[in-house]
Structure 1
Amino acid sequence: MSESWLGIVSGMFVLVTAAIAVAGHYRRERRREQLLRNLDHHDWCRWVRVRR
């Protein structure tokens, strides 16, 4: 019985660690997407386009 509990606990630890890693990756990708979407909204972009 002790060996099965050890397997369950270690498996849960791995799953929690993976879930935290997936959530962090999702948050980084969402932030990257927002930054790329807002890249054209900076003043220097307008300044460069107007000077052409």
Structure 2
Amino acid sequence: MSDSWVGIVMGSFVLMIASVLVAGHYRREHRRRQLLRNLDHHDWCHWTRTRH
């Protein structure tokens, strides 16, 4: 019985860690997508391209 409880606790801990990592990955990807979408809307982007 004790071994099964240890397995349940360890499994729950691993699932909690995995959910935190997945949430962090989702937030980073969402932020990266926002930055890439807004990149073309900045004025500095236009004058840096025309200097070449």
> Greater CA deviation, 41-50 or 16-25?
41-50
The count of residues paired between Structure 1 and Structure 2 equals 51
Gaps of 5+ in 1: none
- Equivalent residue, structure 1, for 2:15: 15
Per-residue CA deviation, residues 2-48 of structure 1 (Å, 9 max, x unaligned), is: 11000000000000000000000000000000000000111112335
TM-score norm. by structure 1 comes to 0.86
The alpha carbon displacement at 1:49 in A equals 6.2
- Structure 1 stretches (4+) deviating beyond 4 angstroms? 48-51
**Identity rate, percent:** 73
